[in-house]
Amino acid sequence: MSAPMTPEQHKAIAVQIGDVKPATDALIGSFAESVANVRNHEHPSWEDLYCMNLTSYMGERMAPVLKRLLDTETENARLRAEVARWRERTEEAETSEAQLKGRVRGLRARVAELETFAHGCDGEGCVLPHSSWCERAKKSAAENDGCTCPKPWPNSPQPHAGYCWLVSPPRDEVDEMRKRLAEDPHDSPLHHTYALSRDLPKVEPEQPALTAERWNAQYPVGTPVYAYPGLRPEDDPTDPQLTTRTRSKASVLGGHNAVVWVEGHGACISLTHVDPRPEGGAL
């Protein structure tokens, strides 16, 4: 396979053939027929006027054929660039997927850690920090000067877990919550069993295509935004936050997620993790 035509070659040929329309399928077909006739007819020993006529016919009509070849080269170059872009996006998506998987593993490990400590509490409905009626925490606190860490640290102020009673004492509203739990289901929302389409309206999630369309109508490319590649601040304040601008229109990824690309980040980011900056903000 020959190398693609260089831009200089493409430009030179375009100047030489001038402003012509590309050859039609019918003209290409007639050229093929003429080539076959030149090849197959009986060539006389004297001047071959038949071949001369056919080659003259093809030569006079070669400019549209060259124009069609140039257009084909242009389209091939466009398609090669598109393939390269999609390969880059695939690599970015794979990198983003690996990062997300790493975060998920970290979160699962943290959940397992919390569940390991929370399991076995005697207080029904106990939460972290342990409720004031949690017998397990009471016992640990009595034995370890108020410490309720899974591995108590006697005679040491640090490091204590965030849910340790020395760091986060039981909340005052716990007893009030227990009273509410004992109320009549019709008087308290805590015990009422709600059902969609009966007590609560059924809300259908917005289609990703509509989300992307609504974003594009309100926020053009280049809009200043805050972007969160990992978790949102309300989920994890320590996760990275990008102060940036959008570099693409919003689109639908995989048919199920509305996303946008931003400056300074290789992979796309879900619109649920992108916030427009008020009045543009400062980069």
Mean pLDDT score, 36-64: 84
In 3D, which of 41, 45, 65 has the Cα closest to residue 53? 41
In angstroms, the CA 188 to CA 179 distance is 10
Write the pLDDT tens digit of every residue in 99-133. Answer: 888 888 888 777 665 555 554 454 455 656 666 66
Tell how strand 242-245 and strand 269-270 pair up: unpaired
Domain positions in the chain: 120-171, 208-280
Higher pLDDT, 119 or 94: 94
Number of Cβ atoms within 10 Å of the Cβ of 171 = 13
- Coil, strand, or helix at residue 242? strand
Write the pLDDT tens digit of every residue in 199-246. Answer: 555 556 788 899 999 999 999 999 999 999 888 888 888 888 999 999
Share of the chain above pLDDT 90, in %: 17
Higher pLDDT, 266 or 225: 225
Written as one letter, the residue type at 98 is A
In angstroms, the CA 273 to CA 244 distance is 13
Is the CB of residue 171 less than 8 Å from the CB of residue 154?
Answer: no
Structure tokens at 272: 């649920």
Tokens 């601008």 locate to 245
The H or E element containing residue 160 is none
